[in-house]
């Protein structure tokens, strides 16, 4: 199969990442069949995409007609069976082996032999996930970044079992979606999170050690290294619990100390100080 032969893609899971993938795929000319177990998630995704396209029209980046065409290419359903016959499926459901296993079992029961499964997992082993499906040679990781329409990178991660044709197709798909792809071995964190997670946890370690304040560490990394956000601003933005859980997963897997979350991060998670979404993290976010 060649990417130019693919007219329709499927997206399973219409949360933060799924919504972005649906939008980008529809804007790239694909018919998009989106599926989420939750009706409300479908409604939220549909509304969010319409709102973003509306803003693009207001900024004269796209025309009203193009907006209508893009929206017309997207359909939502809570029924996995609507994905029957779709040749390329992006998976973006909750980060849980059990949830992912259950969805791939359902997909295996309805999909044909040629279908490609591209998982967006951030922390699970692609090889382990490929071993759960009927056709592991057609299974691959395509790790997008949040927010998907803005972030240009996709990490393409072949499992041990992935066929070269699948990797080539995933790379071509990333390009067709307007992204720049890198390929990476199936290792914890791939490239970006392997470097980013220890960096954020190290920042928390030096804060915990009293080396400098959170504000000063953020200022140092922004003004001294040209980072767009400091490590604490970034952790508050993405959710402090993400750094904690991902650090724990990578630490359990590799036993490398740099992935071990420091006590401060663990305690913040236990206290519910998760960042922007809870109004308190490394900084306070008073309700507007």
Choice from 22, 41, 86, 274 touching ligand NAD (CB under 6 A):
41
Residue 47 in 3-state DSSP?
helix
Decide if residue 125 touches ligand NAD (CB under 6 A). Answer: no
Position 188 contacts ligand NAD (CB under 6 A): no
Separation between Cα atoms, residue 132 and residue 158, nearest integer Å: 15
Closest by CA to 183, choosing from 161, 153, 142, 155, is 155
Q: What is the DSSP letter of 276?
A: G
Q: Does 16 bind ligand NAD (CB under 6 A)?
A: yes
Looking at the DSSP assignment, which residues form a beta bridge with residue 35?
12, 77
Question: Around 225, how many Cα atoms within 13 Å sit in the side-chain half-sphere?
Answer: 11
Q: Catalytic pick from 46, 120, 122, 125?
A: 122
66 by Cβ neighbours in 10 Å (0-12 / 13-18 / 19+) ranks as: middle
Q: Which is nearer to ligand NAD, 67 or 126 (CB)?
A: 126
Choosing from 91, 193, 243, 251, which is the catalytic residue? 193
| Residues near ligand NAD (CB under 6 A), total | 26
The two tokens of residue 232 are 């604490």
Q: Is 235 exposed, middle or buried (0-12, 13-18, 19+ CB in 10 A)?
A: buried
**The one catalytic residue among 155, 233, 241, 251:** 155
For residue 193, indicate whether it is catalytic.
yes
Q: What is the DSSP letter of 5?
A: G
Query: If binding is defined by CB under 6 A, does position 103 make contact with ligand NAD?
Result: yes
User: Is 33:113 a contact under the CB 8 Å cutoff?
Assistant: no
By CB under 6 A, tell whether 189 contacts ligand NAD.
no
* Closest CA relative to residue 106, chosen from 6, 13, 42: 13
Cβ of residue 228: shortest distance to ligand NAD, in angstroms? 16
Q: Judged by CB under 6 A, which of 22, 49, 92, 154 binds ligand NAD?
A: 92
> Among all chains, which residue has been given the structure tokens 């997909």?
107
- For ligand NAD, which residue has the nearest CB? 15
Q: 46, 91, 123, 143: which one is catalytic?
A: 143
39 near ligand NAD, rule: CB under 6 A: no
Q: Is 9 in the site for ligand NAD (CB under 6 A)?
A: no
What letter does residue 261 receive in the DSSP assignment? Answer: P
Interacting residues with ligand NAD between 143 and 182 (CB under 6 A): 143-146
35 binds ligand NAD (CB under 6 A): yes
Give catalytic status of residue 123 as yes or no: no
Q: Is 99 in the site for ligand NAD (CB under 6 A)?
A: yes
Using the 8-state DSSP alphabet, how is residue 280 labeled? B
Q: How far, in whole angstroms, is CA 232 from its chain's centroid? A: 20
Rg (CA), the chain: 20
Is there binding between residue 15 and ligand NAD (CB under 6 A)? yes
Which is nearer to ligand NAD, 66 or 254 (by Cβ)? Answer: 254
**Taking CB under 6 A as the rule, does residue 121 contact ligand NAD?**
yes
The yes or no reply on residue 12 touching ligand NAD (CB under 6 A) is: yes
> Catalytic annotation on 213?
no
Asked if 125 is an active-site residue, the reply is no
The residues carrying an active-site annotation are 122, 143, 155, 193
Site of interaction with ligand NAD (CB under 6 A):
12-18, 35-38, 41, 92-95, 99, 102-103, 120-122, 143-146
């Amino acid at each position: 199969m060649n990417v130019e032969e693919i007219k329709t893609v499927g997206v399973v899971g219409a949360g933060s990442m799924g919504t972005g993938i649906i939008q980008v795929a529809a804007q790239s000319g694909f018919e998009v069949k989106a599926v989420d177990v939750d009706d409300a998630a479908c409604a939220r995704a549909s509304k969010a995409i319409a709102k973003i396209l509306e803003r693009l029209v207001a900024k004269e980046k796209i025309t009203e007609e193009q907006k209508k065409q893009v929206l017309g290419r997207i359909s939502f359903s809570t029924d996995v069976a609507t994905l029957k016959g779709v040749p390329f499926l992006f998976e973006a459901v909750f980060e849980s082996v059990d949830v992912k296993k259950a969805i791939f079992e359902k997909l295996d029961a309805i999909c044909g032999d040629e279908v490609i499964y591209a998982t967006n997992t951030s922390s699970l082993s692609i090889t382990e996930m490929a071993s759960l499906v009927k056709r592991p040679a057609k299974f691959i990781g395509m790790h997008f970044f949040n927010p998907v329409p803005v972030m240009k990178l996709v990490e393409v991660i072949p499992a041990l079992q992935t066929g070269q044709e699948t990797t080539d197709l995933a790379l071509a798909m990333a390009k067709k979606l307007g992204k720049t792809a890198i390929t990476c071995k199936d290792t914890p964190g791939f490239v970006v999170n392997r470097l980013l997670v220890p960096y954020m946890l190290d920042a928390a370690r030096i804060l915990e050690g009293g080396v400098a304040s959170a504000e000063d560490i953020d200022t140092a990394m922004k003004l001294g290294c040209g980072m767009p956000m400091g490590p604490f601003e970034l952790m508050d933005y993405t959710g402090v619990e993400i750094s904690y859980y991902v650090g724990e997963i990578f630490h359990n897997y590799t036993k490398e100390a740099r992935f071990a979350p420091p006590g401060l991060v663990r305690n913040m998670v236990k206290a519910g100080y998760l960042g922007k979404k809870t109004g308190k993290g490394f900084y306070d976010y008073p309700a507007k």
